[in-house]
């Protein structure tokens, strides 16, 4: 039985509610009046229910689909302006005891090179990342109680935050590790992590169990209830996502929104971010073996409707996507992207040959961070290296309420400009620098509050003169 506030996975992600919703959406896919009403409701930026969003996903009326896209662009602009937050993944270890059939880290894969970074190696990776200009990382690791216990993750976080190389610093570490206990989530919180990210992979329990035949991850309830435990452990910024391609997109799209609704109803805070990874080719993984891979046009629509349905959430896309599809989804709702990424363990210091592959998936976008920043500037997005909210304690419901009432805009634009200025002073190529200087000059006058505008101008001068790390 469906119960949005239940603590049990099978009740807040009810299979029968998902199937009923799929049927309702199918029956109403040409119901123009209903679809117009849903779009009208969405215009108020208060979000949509999973049922309403599912109808939009099924809609096959071209003019209404166009309206959906326009609305997604509008909501993106209203909540996030044209800022795009930059981050990079850091793979600590690919040792893993799980049997996930879509992931090359699975325990039975003998062809992948296993590697775990020492603290010294982490130091070198972080210096390489700082030298690119990164300020925000997402830590990634396989699940292995002996090789990658929580103590290893905590020590690694400490190492990362301690490294100050030239003007570099990692100011926010997000963590994507396997589902764990409330006690361990509390330790991660105490270690100063930003967001705890965990992808559900799929919300379909039967399929989930087939895709995870062995290892601790096979427990559907334990995995699905992880965000509840993270919240109980004091982590109030959590990031959810599904791996599109494992299950029909209709099922997982609805499950994802039900998960967001559950977190908001139970804890008063929805997901800080929603990621939309699509399955990729990898070492011993062939996407042709998966019959649910999502075509580009559907993928764009999914991004647009998530933007409309959960306006307050940040949306993340990785280098799994090509430059072309990234360009499309940036305007439809994405607010964070990775750049210059390596998905191999130790990949920022040493480029791997194909034989010594330790990577988690093949990259579609292999451009450098400088190239990505230059490309974003050409598309009139502001690349932002901001980490201010989390460092100012604007997390969880504090962050959400500021975002929902639009006040966040007075901090975000100046912070984006200040961190972009730092980036171009320390790391950018001359061409990127020139484009960014022009953008900063042009957008400074867009800061609504006069006092904030004057302060931002003062900070920009100080950065020009060698000072760093200002924030609103």
| Site of interaction with ligand SAM (CB under 6 A) | 102-103, 140, 142-143, 176-178, 198-199, 201, 217, 243, 277, 279-280, 282, 285, 320, 360-361
Q: Taking the complex as a whole, how short is the minimal distance between the CB of residue 458 and ligand SAM, in angstroms? A: 41
Q: Taking the complex as a whole, how short is the minimal distance between the CB of residue 319 and ligand SAM, in angstroms? A: 10
| E strand or H helix at 91 | strand 83-93
Q: Please state, in angstroms and rounded to a whole number, the distance separating the CA atoms of residues 306 and 81.
A: 17
Between 71 and 238, whose beta carbon lies closer to ligand SAM? 238
The two three-digit tokens of residue 94, written as one number: 């690919």
Q: Taking the complex as a whole, how short is the minimal distance between the CB of residue 338 and ligand SAM, in angstroms? A: 12
C-alpha atoms less than 13 angstroms from C-alpha of 416 in its C-beta half-sphere: 29
Between 307 and 320, whose beta carbon lies closer to ligand SAM? 320
| 61 close to 67: Cβ distance less than 8 angstroms | no
Contacts of 194 (CB under 8 A, 6+ apart): 136, 172, 173, 174, 237, 387, 390
Closest by CA to 15, choosing from 302, 215, 177, 258, is: 258
CA distances from 263 to 27, 197, 316, 457 (A): 28, 14, 19, 39
Q: Taking the complex as a whole, how short is the minimal distance between the CB of residue 105 and ligand SAM, in angstroms? A: 7
Between 273 and 419, whose beta carbon lies closer to ligand SAM? 273
Between 279 and 372, whose beta carbon lies closer to ligand SAM? 279
| 385 close to 419: Cβ distance less than 8 angstroms | yes
Closest by CA to 437, choosing from 386, 385, 382, is: 382
Between 28 and 98, whose beta carbon lies closer to ligand SAM? 98
The two three-digit tokens of residue 409, written as one number: 């805009």
Q: Using DSSP bridges, classify how beta strands 83-93 and 196-197 pair: parallel, antiparallel or unpaired.
A: unpaired
Q: Taking the complex as a whole, how short is the minimal distance between the CB of residue 225 and ligand SAM, in angstroms? A: 14
Q: Taking the complex as a whole, how short is the minimal distance between the CB of residue 81 and ligand SAM, in angstroms? A: 29
Between 105 and 312, whose beta carbon lies closer to ligand SAM? 105
Between 232 and 287, whose beta carbon lies closer to ligand SAM? 287
Contacts of 155 (CB under 8 A, 6+ apart): 119
The two three-digit tokens of residue 87, written as one number: 């981050």
| 129 close to 137: Cβ distance less than 8 angstroms | yes
Q: Is 383 helix (H, G, I), strand (E, B) or coil?
A: strand
Between 272 and 320, whose beta carbon lies closer to ligand SAM? 320
C-alpha atoms less than 13 angstroms from C-alpha of 384 in its C-beta half-sphere: 23
| 339 close to 375: Cβ distance less than 8 angstroms | no
CA distances from 81 to 31, 42, 379, 408 (A): 32, 18, 13, 11
CA distances from 130 to 350, 385, 447 (A): 15, 12, 28
Q: Taking the complex as a whole, how short is the minimal distance between the CB of residue 200 and ligand SAM, in angstroms? A: 8
How many CB atoms are located within 10 Å of the residue 145 CB? 11
Q: Taking the complex as a whole, how short is the minimal distance between the CB of residue 103 and ligand SAM, in angstroms? A: 4
The two three-digit tokens of residue 48, written as one number: 């949509």
Q: Taking the complex as a whole, how short is the minimal distance between the CB of residue 198 and ligand SAM, in angstroms? A: 5
Between 56 and 280, whose beta carbon lies closer to ligand SAM? 280
Q: Taking the complex as a whole, how short is the minimal distance between the CB of residue 344 and ligand SAM, in angstroms? A: 12
Between 169 and 282, whose beta carbon lies closer to ligand SAM? 282
Q: Taking the complex as a whole, how short is the minimal distance between the CB of residue 152 and ligand SAM, in angstroms? A: 14
Contacts of 33 (CB under 8 A, 6+ apart): none
Q: Taking the complex as a whole, how short is the minimal distance between the CB of residue 217 and ligand SAM, in angstroms? A: 5
Between 56 and 226, whose beta carbon lies closer to ligand SAM? 226
Q: Please state, in angstroms and rounded to a whole number, the distance separating the CA atoms of residues 389 and 471.
A: 9
| 201 close to 252: Cβ distance less than 8 angstroms | no
Between 114 and 468, whose beta carbon lies closer to ligand SAM? 114
| E strand or H helix at 88 | strand 83-93
């Amino acid at each position: 039985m469906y119960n949005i506030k239940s603590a049990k996975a099978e009740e807040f992600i009810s299979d029968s509610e998902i199937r009923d919703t799929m049927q309702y959406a199918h029956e109403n896919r040409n119901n123009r009046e209903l679809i117009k009403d849903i779009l009208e409701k969405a215009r108020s930026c208060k979000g949509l229910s999973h049922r309403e969003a599912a109808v939009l996903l099924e809609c096959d009326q071209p003019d209404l689909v166009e309206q959906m896209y326009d609305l997604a662009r509008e909501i993106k602009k209203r909540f996030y302006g044209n800022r795009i937050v930059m981050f990079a993944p850091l793979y600590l270890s690919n040792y893993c005891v799980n049997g996930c059939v879509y992931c090359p880290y699975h325990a039975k894969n003998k062809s992948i090179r296993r590697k775990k970074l020492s603290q010294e190696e982490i130091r070198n990776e972080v210096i390489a990342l700082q030298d690119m200009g990164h300020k925000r990382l997402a830590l990634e690791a396989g699940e292995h109680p002996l090789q990658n216990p929580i103590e290893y993750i905590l020590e690694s976080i400490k190492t990362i935050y301690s490294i100050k190389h030239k003007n570099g610093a990692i100011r926010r570490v997000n963590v994507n590790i396997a589902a764990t206990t409330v006690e361990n989530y509390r330790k991660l919180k105490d270690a100063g992590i930003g967001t705890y990210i965990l992808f559900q992979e799929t919300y379909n329990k039967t399929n989930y169990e087939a895709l995870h035949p062995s290892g601790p991850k096979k427990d559907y309830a334990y995995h699905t209830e992880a965000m509840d435990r993270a919240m109980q452990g004091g982590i109030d910024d959590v990031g959810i996502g599904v791996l599109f391609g494992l299950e029909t997109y209709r099922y997982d799209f609805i499950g994802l929104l039900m998960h967001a609704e559950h977190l908001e109803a139970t804890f008063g805070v929805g997901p800080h971010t929603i990621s939309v990874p699509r399955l990729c080719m990898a070492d011993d993984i062939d996407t042709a073996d998966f019959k649910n891979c999502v075509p580009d046009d559907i993928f764009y629509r999914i991004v647009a409707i998530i933007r409309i349905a959960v306006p307050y959430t940040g949306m993340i896309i990785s280098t799994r996507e090509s430059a072309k599809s990234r360009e499309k989804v940036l305007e439809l709702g994405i607010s964070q992207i990775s750049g210059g990424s390596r998905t191999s363990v130790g990949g920022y210091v040493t480029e791997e040959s194909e034989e010594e592959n330790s990577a988690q998936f093949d990259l579609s976008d292999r451009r450098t961070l400088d190239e990505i920043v230059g490309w974003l500037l050409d598309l009139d997005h502001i690349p932002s290296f901001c980490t201010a909210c989390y460092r100012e304690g604007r997390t969880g419901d504090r962050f959400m309420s500021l975002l929902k009432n639009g006040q966040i805009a007075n901090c975000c634009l100046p912070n984006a400009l200040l961190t972009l200025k730092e980036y171009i002073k320390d790391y950018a190529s001359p061409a990127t620098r020139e484009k960014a200087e022009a953008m900063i000059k042009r957008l400074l006058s867009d800061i609504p509050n006069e006092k904030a505008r004057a302060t931002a101008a003062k900070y920009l001068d100080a950065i020009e003169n060698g000072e760093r790390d200002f924030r609103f």
